[in-house]
A and B are shown apart, each in its own frame.
Chain A
């Protein structure tokens, strides 16, 4: 597709832009929505991200890195938005106590998948209640497999702050799992 022609094409090439837009529209919107949880703002971020993508397209040196570059621009645009919003309206960070998860051995059965769905649903519900700052670090850590130092550089924050956010986010999710009585209940009990 356009990857093959990326090196040759001119950044003002309308067809290339359209192709990139078509290829990454869903990807960009998903990231923006995951961070912000508001479809209108997510769409604004999408729009702003594509404007940045198209005005800086000549900076992409390797076509294979285009998706990663698009992801970075989208994430940064979303982060900028969150920071601006934060300045206007200070967000509270919940102070969550450290609660250990108690998961027993998982039964290697078909039930496991169903059970996992329940757990994932609980985590997803809780993830929606996390602040965008916390969702972003989880996304970068677990989906992009970034190290704490890399996340700190990416977000331009201290490594200690990254660690704290990951710790708090994970604890909040664990707390939810405990509250839902799934972890301590029968689902993962040894059989």
Chain B
């Protein structure tokens, strides 16, 4: 039983790792997202200053 649990644990870990490596392409490009982040940071900075 202990061994079964060990095997099961390894399978879960491997499955999670595989799932983390198997993601669909993000809907927006990296650059587009970066621009959005910069815009939000700018707005935040502006609101702090105001």
Chain A contacts to B: CB under 8 angstroms: 18, 21, 25, 29-31, 33-34, 39-40, 42-43, 46-47, 50-51, 54-55, 100-103, 105-106, 116, 119-120, 123-124, 127-128, 138-139, 142-143, 170, 173-174
Contact = CB atoms under 8 A, between A and B. Distances in A.
Contacts of B14: 116, 120
Interface of chain A: mostly helix, strand, loop or mixed: helix
Contacts of B19: 34, 124, 127-128
A50 B38 CA distance: 10
**Size range of the interface on B?**
20 to 34
A18 B37 CA distance: 11
Contact of B26 (A42, A123, A127, A174): A42
Contacts of A120: 11, 14-15, 18
A143 B40 CA distance: 31
20 contacts: A25-B33, A31-B20, A33-B24, A34-B19, A39-B23, A39-B26, A42-B26, A43-B33, A47-B36, A51-B44, A103-B4, A103-B8, A106-B7, A116-B14, A120-B14, A123-B12, A124-B22, A127-B19, A142-B16, A143-B16
